Amino acid sequence: MKDIVIKDLCKRFADKVVLDRFSIVIPAGSIFGIMGESGCGKTTLLRILLGLEKADSGMIEGLPARISAVFQEDRLCDEFSAIENVAIAAPKKTPRAAIVECLAALGLGDALDRPVRALSGGMRRRVAIARALLAEGELLLLDEPFEGLDEETRRSVMAVVRRMAAGRTVVLVTHDEEEITALGASLYQMKE
């Protein structure tokens, strides 16, 4: 696993410059928290790392081939159960027991086989987190992953994330400094 080196990254959408010669080093195996005002380019940065947006210029080194992510939206297949939604992204040989264990750890033990469209917002969020945790990828990108969770659930979910993401490089985008502290992440303040 290598450090991820981002150098002079630029991205513009029409007239709006979102990233202007943005440079940063994300240490391998660390939890790296990014905070900043809305619209400062946090999500765009994650989308570039995921290969969903192309940077106008700049360089990224050390990016692993497989990256896992919790998107800002849940992005679940509504008709399918929590287990199926996690299995879709997990490596082929992942045993069902491992998926069940992860979902149960996130407090979804009673909702394993229910279609996710029947779940509450907070439960759907946790399914999305489980999917990212069990998917392959040395790099885990979390875009406001704990939004919509109540305080108690948030704490227990953060503990699970911290335990299960150990050994991976994690980039956490958040507006809540408490999450940075709870996950033991280093903090980078992104400016417009």
Instruction: Return d(Cα 120, Cα 138) in angstroms, integer.
Output: 30
Which region, judged by CB under 8 A, interacts with another protein, from 4-12, 25-33, 68-76, 96-104? 68-76
Which region, judged by CB under 8 A, interacts with another protein, from 3-11, 13-21, 69-77, 179-187? 69-77
Binding residues for another protein, rule CB under 8 A, total 21
CA nearest to 53, candidates 119, 141, 121: 141
Q: Among 79, 110, 113, 192, which residue interacts with another protein (rule: CB under 8 A)?
A: 79
| Least distance CB 191 / another protein (angstroms) | 27
- Touching another protein, residues 80-139 (CB under 8 A): 80, 84, 88-89, 115, 131, 135-136
Q: Among 78, 110, 177, 192, which residue interacts with another protein (rule: CB under 8 A)?
A: 78
Kindly tell me which of 170 and 180 has the beta carbon lying closer to another protein.
170
Structure tokens at 181: 């502290």
67 touches another protein (CB under 8 A): yes
**Phi, psi dihedrals of residue 183, rounded to the nearest 5°:** -90, -5
Structure tokens at 1: 């696993």
- In degrees to the nearest 10, what's the CA dihedral of 27, 31, 37, 42? 60
E strands present in the chain? 4-13, 16-26, 31-36, 57-61, 67-70, 139-143, 169-173, 186-190
- Touching another protein, residues 24-63 (CB under 8 A): 50-52
| Least distance CB 70 / another protein (angstroms) | 10
| Least distance CB 132 / another protein (angstroms) | 9
**Phi, psi dihedrals of residue 132, rounded to the nearest 5°:** -70, -40
Contacts of 63 (CB under 8 A, 6+ apart): 4, 49, 139
Residues that bind another protein (CB under 8 A): 50-52, 66-69, 71, 73, 75, 77-80, 84, 88-89, 115, 131, 135-136
